[in-house]
């Protein structure tokens, strides 16, 4: 995985002092282009990796060769573990490697590095929402998670007016192009979509964090609850096979299960929070969709069609 390569690259630089991209590529058994991307990623993350041009040049860590991680500063250690830590949420080997790296750090850096390594979870699935840009407040929330300080946020839920909240930040989750803050409020689990956080201020108050908290397990509970809510209503439909991918985009990957009926048609099970939302989502595909069950969704589609005729006759 990329996390393994980044750590291997860093340790090689520390052990050998200066190496060329070609030498790293040969040693790590990857392409020169991949080596250069990894080196640039380390540099962008705040690790002092610099190229030395000219004859006898190459890439090296500022300050010369080092044989362990004790030469890293506290900000450098946080930057490294924030960069490679997300891999630990999906790869047990990466998680074990990070634990070993934490033990190699100076005692005063270990707490922040461990917090940074556990600060972010990566969820490769999608909930069918349009992508967003990287939220501007993400660095503020990352720093609060690592420092374990309470955060005062102003949050605008989709169906409510903006409100101020004081939260204990536990960690961040990236689900495709969306970011979520997992936090505690009075000991209760709460989830906030980061692009709906209008303001964030890190306080001096220490954040409360349950003993033995596993951020990935918390996120599993959150996704299970959301998926159950999103799949509260379902319908079985007969559609042209060609539009099945479009239905997946509209309703979400997990909301569409399809099986082929013949060369041109598929039987599809579609889910949504309510039957009304199901009918509204299917109404735009009226000439391609036949609802097999339940009858209540067919009734809602008929009501929507009659309403359209009345308004647009």
Q: Are 96 and 131 in contact (CB under 8 A)?
A: no
Residue 55 class from Cβ within 10 Å (0-12 exposed, 13-18 middle, 19+ buried)? exposed
- The C-alpha atoms of residue 63 and residue 77 are separated, in whole angstroms, by 15
Per-domain residue ranges for the chain?
Answer: 2-118, 123-214, 231-312
Q: Which of 252, 153, 144 is nearest to 193 (CA)?
A: 153
pTM here is 0.51
Q: What does the mean pLDDT of the chain come to? A: 79
CATH number belonging to the domain at 123-214, selected among 1.10.1060, 1.20.120, 2.30.30, 1.10.3470: 2.30.30
* Nearest residue to 259 (alpha-carbon basis) of 248, 269, 270: 269
Q: Which residue has the tokens 């934490």?
A: 102
For the chain, give the secondary structure using H, E and C. Answer: CHHHHHHHHHHHHHHHCEECHHHHHHHHCCCHHHHHHHHHHHHHCCCCEEEECCCCCEEEECCCCCCCHHHCCHHHHHHHHHHHHHHHHCCHHHHHHHHHHHHHCCHHHHHHHHHHHCCEEEECCCCCCCCCCCCCCHHHHHHHHHHCEEEEEEECCCCCCCEEEEEEEEEEEEECCEEEEEEEECCEEEEEEHHHEEEEEEEEEECCCCCCCCHHHHHHHHHHHHHHHHCCEEEEEEEEHHHHHHHHHHHCHHHEEEEECCCCEEEEEEEECCHHHHHHHHHCCCCCEEEEECHHHHHHHHHHHHHHHHHHC
Highest mean pLDDT among 124-128, 153-157, 220-224: 153-157
pLDDT at 265 over 70: yes
- pLDDT surpasses 50 at 21: yes
User: Is the pLDDT assigned to residue 4 strictly greater than 70?
Assistant: no
Per-residue CA distances from 268 to 163, 239, 240, 247, 290 (Å) = 40, 7, 10, 10, 10
pLDDT at position 292:
94
Residue 84 burial (CB count, 10 A): 26
Return the higher-pLDDT residue of 63 and 60: 60
Beta bridge partners of 199: 154
* Best CA proximity match to 190, nearest among 169, 210, 220: 169
Residue among 60, 33, 35 nearest 49 (CA): 60
- Unique residue bearing structure tokens 């599993």: 220
Burial zone of 53 (CB within 10 Å; 0-12 exposed, 13-18 middle, 19+ buried): exposed
Domain 231-312 has CATH 2.40.160: no
**253-262 contacts at long range (C-beta below 8 A, 24 or more positions apart):** 253/125, 253/126, 253/128, 254/125, 254/227, 254/230, 255/128, 255/230, 255/231
pLDDT at 146 over 50: yes
Specify the higher pLDDT residue, 233 or 215.
Answer: 233
Which residues are bridge partners to 257 per DSSP?
Answer: 269
pLDDT for 269: 93
Q: What are phi and psi of 72, to 5 degrees?
A: -75, 145
Question: pLDDT-based confidence at 288, cuts 50/70/90?
Answer: confident
Structural fold of domain 2-118: Arc Repressor Mutant, subunit A (1.10.10)
β-strands 58-61, 120-123: how paired? unpaired
Distance between CA atoms of residues 159 and 138, nearest Å: 23
């Amino acid at each position: 995985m990329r996390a393994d390569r980044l750590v291997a690259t860093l340790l090689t630089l520390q052990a050998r002092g200066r190496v060329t991209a070609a030498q790293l590529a040969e040693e790590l058994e990857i392409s020169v282009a991949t080596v250069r991307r990894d080196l640039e990623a380390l540099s962008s993350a705040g690790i002092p990796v610099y190229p030395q041009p000219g004859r006898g040049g190459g890439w090296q860590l500022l300050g010369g060769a080092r044989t362990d991680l004790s030469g890293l500063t506290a900000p450098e250690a946080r930057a490294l573990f924030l960069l490679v830590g997300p891999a630990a949420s999906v790869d047990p080997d990466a998680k074990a490697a990070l634990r070993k790296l934490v033990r190699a750090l100076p005692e005063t850096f270990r707490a922040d590095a461990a917090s940074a390594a556990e600060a972010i979870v990566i969820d490769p699935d999608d909930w069918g929402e349009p992508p967003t840009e990287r939220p501007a407040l993400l660095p503020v929330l990352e720093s609060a998670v690592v420092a374990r300080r309470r955060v005062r946020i102003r949050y605008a839920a989709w169906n409510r007016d903006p409100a101020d909240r004081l939260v204990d930040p536990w960690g961040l989750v990236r689900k495709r192009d969306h970011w979520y803050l997992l936090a505690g409020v009075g000991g209760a689990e709460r989830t906030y979509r980061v692009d709906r956080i209008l303001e964030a201020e890190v306080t001096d108050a220490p954040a409360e964090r349950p003993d033995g908290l596993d951020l990935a397990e918390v996120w599993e509970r959150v996704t299970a609850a959301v998926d159950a809510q999103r799949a509260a209503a379902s319908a079985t439909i007969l559609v042209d096979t060609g539009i099945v991918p479009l239905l997946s985009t509209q309703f979400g990957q997990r909301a569409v299960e399809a099986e082929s009926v013949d060369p041109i048609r598929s039987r599809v099970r579609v889910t949504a929070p309510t039957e009304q939302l199901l009918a509204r989502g299917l109404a735009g595909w009226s000439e391609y969709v036949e609802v097999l069950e339940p009858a209540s969704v067919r009734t809602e589609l008929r009501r929507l069609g009659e309403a359209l005729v009345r308004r647009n006759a």
